Amino acid sequence: MAYVPASQSPSTYYGKDPDSGALVKIVALFLGIAVVVLVFVALWMGVSAQNARDDARAAAAGSAPVSSAVRDHTAQATTATASFAGTAPANADEIATAHKPYPATLPAAPAGAVANVHLVLKDVTIQIAPGIKYSSWAFAGGAPGPVIHVRQGQTVKITLTNGGAIAHSVDFHAARIAPNIAFRDVDPGESLTYTFKATDPGVFMYHCGTKPVLAHIANGMYGAIVVSPSTPLPRADREYVLVSSEWYLNAPGLAKPASLDMAKAHAQLPDWVTWNGYAGQYAKHPLTANPGETVRFWVVAAGPSFDTDFHVVGTILNRAWVNGDLTQFQRNVQTVPVPAGGGGVFDVKIDQPGLYPFLSHSFASVDLGQVGLLKVGDVEGAMSH
Ligand SMILES: [Cu+2]
């Protein structure tokens, strides 16, 4: 608000105005216009509320969303759009088959005392389900960001380059470091470098920590870092990294990319829940193992808000390093929760060939896309929950 000297304040000025009759007429005119505008706003709000109720009823009845007025709400909207869960183009199966799955195999840790990690952030359109496009903010071109693998005791040198349109940052849960310094915002076009010592083994989340964090994680800014312990774990034949996350869409994402519906994110009403950022990708392209092999899953629940109740259908977790605490494990447990922002490590040893779904046993998440298959042996067919 501009500073107005007391001698020129409106009341002083109007007090000196000789034509007070004209002023009264002008004020009356403006008041009349204001009343008309208020009536229109009230009518519009009534119609919008009715549309929202119609959409909610349509979603509850399982039919397609209707109102374009509601559908076109942006990330700032306070009314959630109807659910777009399960939206699929006619050629969804063809797209799912052609989709190149996110590489789940744990990469090797680099040699040497220092592990260099360069994350280049970009605003990119990605697919989060067959034919479903989403305008994401992504570390290194996709969501999740790359799996980072280091060894306990290594120094991890992080460089974040912000190629996006707004400020971002990167918070590593594997670090013990002053967050106000290391995790500070990086402006567009700028880079930030910091180092931390990987003192604690386990599997950890990394994510953008810029406010509102809910929006930055929901838009795809997360990933997993595995810190292998200096005292080796029991041998595993295969090691896979799985990051769970949920997606909140303001549009179906078919004709044009959807973006974040913040009201849905606040209400925790996702349209999709995924392993490694894409609904059902490992149901179409299963992870593999031979009978009798030990398969290790390094699991992070990125959220932004959902936990993952990790379960493998048809077997029992032989070892479960709960919360990613590698100093001890539980034996022969069925389902282990992984909290949003947390991790867990799970071994299975399956002797009988078959298709074994891995999922969150919170089955709403399965229905929204969080299910994959571990294909043990040379078996045919498909199965998903
Ligand atoms: Cu960010």
pLDDT tens digit sequence for 314-337: 999 999 999 999 999 999 999 999
Give the distance (Å) from ligand 1 centre to CA of residue 140: 13
**Least-confidence region, from 22-26, 41-45, 69-73:** 69-73
Round to whole Å and give the CA distance between 364 and 378: 30
Give the distance (Å) from ligand 1 centre to CA of residue 250: 19
Structure tokens that stand for 82 in this block? 């109807």
Residue 54: the pLDDT is: 38
Residue 44: the pLDDT is: 43
Give the distance (Å) from ligand 1 centre to CA of residue 209: 6
Give the distance (Å) from ligand 1 centre to CA of residue 229: 30
**Least-confidence region, from 17-26, 48-57, 161-170, 374-383:** 48-57
Average pLDDT over every residue of 249-263: 98
Residue 5: the pLDDT is: 33
Give the distance (Å) from ligand 1 centre to CA of residue 122: 10
Residue 380: the pLDDT is: 83
Q: What is the pLDDT of residues 174-228, one digit of tens each?
A: 999 999 999 999 999 999 999 999 999 999 999 999 999 999 999 999 999 999 9
**Least-confidence region, from 21-35, 150-164, 191-205, 325-339:** 21-35
DSSP state of 217: H
Round to whole Å and give the CA distance between 96 and 280: 8
pLDDT above 60: residue 63: no
Specify the amino acid at residue 385. Answer: H
Q: What is the pLDDT of residues 97-114, one digit of tens each?
A: 999 999 999 999 999 999
Give the distance (Å) from ligand 1 centre to CA of residue 304: 13
Q: Can you tell me whether residue 138 is helix, strand or coil?
A: strand
Give the distance (Å) from ligand 1 centre to CA of residue 218: 10
3-state class percentages of the chain: helix first, strand second, coil last, to nearest 5: 25, 35, 40
Higher pLDDT, 74 or 207: 207
pLDDT above 90: residue 46: no
Give the distance (Å) from ligand 1 centre to CA of residue 80: 22
Give the distance (Å) from ligand 1 centre to CA of residue 325: 28
Round to whole Å and give the CA distance between 13 and 331: 83
Give the distance (Å) from ligand 1 centre to CA of residue 328: 34
Instruction: Categorize the per-residue pLDDT at 385 as very low, low, confident or very high, splitting at 50, 70 and 90.
Output: low
Phi, psi angle pair for 339, to nearest 5°: -75, 155
Give the distance (Å) from ligand 1 centre to CA of residue 201: 26
Give the distance (Å) from ligand 1 centre to CA of residue 38: 38
Give the distance (Å) from ligand 1 centre to CA of residue 145: 12
Give the distance (Å) from ligand 1 centre to CA of residue 316: 38
Round to whole Å and give the CA distance between 357 and 350: 12
Give the distance (Å) from ligand 1 centre to CA of residue 210: 5
Give the distance (Å) from ligand 1 centre to CA of residue 137: 7
Nearest to 286 by CA among 104, 40, 161: 104
Place of tokens 């913040």: 262
Phi, psi angle pair for 293, to nearest 5°: -80, 155
Residue 76: the pLDDT is: 55
Residue 55: the pLDDT is: 39
Higher pLDDT, 8 or 135: 135
Q: Dihedral of CA 16/22/24/26: which sign? A: negative
Helix (H) / strand (E) element for 68: namely helix 68-71
DSSP state of 168: B
Output b/e per residue, 131-141; b: 16+ Cβ within 10 A. Answer: bbbbbbbbbbe
pLDDT above 50: residue 37: no
Structure tokens that stand for 314 in this block? 């048809």
Give the distance (Å) from ligand 1 centre to CA of residue 354: 41
Contact status, residue 310 vs residue 336, Cβ threshold 8 Å = yes
Give the distance (Å) from ligand 1 centre to CA of residue 244: 18
Strand blocks (E) in 229-280:
238-247, 272-275
Question: Across the strands, what pairs with 238?
Answer: 295
Contact status, residue 71 vs residue 251, Cβ threshold 8 Å = yes
**Least-confidence region, from 67-71, 86-90, 159-163, 340-344:** 67-71
67 CB neighbour count, 10 Å cutoff: 19
Contact status, residue 80 vs residue 261, Cβ threshold 8 Å = yes
Is the pTM higher than 0.75? yes
Instruction: Categorize the per-residue pLDDT at 343 as very low, low, confident or very high, splitting at 50, 70 and 90.
Output: very high
Domain 97-376 has CATH 2.60.40.420: yes
Nearest to 294 by CA among 374, 373, 239: 239
Mean pLDDT, the chain, whole residue set:
85
Instruction: Categorize the per-residue pLDDT at 79 as very low, low, confident or very high, splitting at 50, 70 and 90.
Output: confident
352 CB neighbour count, 10 Å cutoff: 12
Strand blocks (E) in 233-293:
238-247, 272-275, 287-289
Give the distance (Å) from ligand 1 centre to CA of residue 142: 13
Give the distance (Å) from ligand 1 centre to CA of residue 232: 34
Give the distance (Å) from ligand 1 centre to CA of residue 87: 27
Q: What percent of the chain has pLDDT over 70?
A: 79
Spell out the domain ranges in the chain: 22-71, 97-376
Structure tokens that stand for 273 in this block? 């829940």
Give the distance (Å) from ligand 1 centre to CA of residue 344: 25
Round to whole Å and give the CA distance between 55 and 262: 17
Nearest to 365 by CA among 229, 221, 246: 246
pLDDT above 70: residue 159: yes
Round to whole Å and give the CA distance between 74 and 2: 31
128 CB neighbour count, 10 Å cutoff: 26
Average pLDDT over every residue of 276-305: 98
Average pLDDT over every residue of 46-71: 37
DSSP state of 166: S
Round to whole Å and give the CA distance between 293 and 348: 8
Specify the amino acid at residue 220. Answer: G
Give the distance (Å) from ligand 1 centre to CA of residue 298: 24
pLDDT above 90: residue 52: no
Give the distance (Å) from ligand 1 centre to CA of residue 157: 19
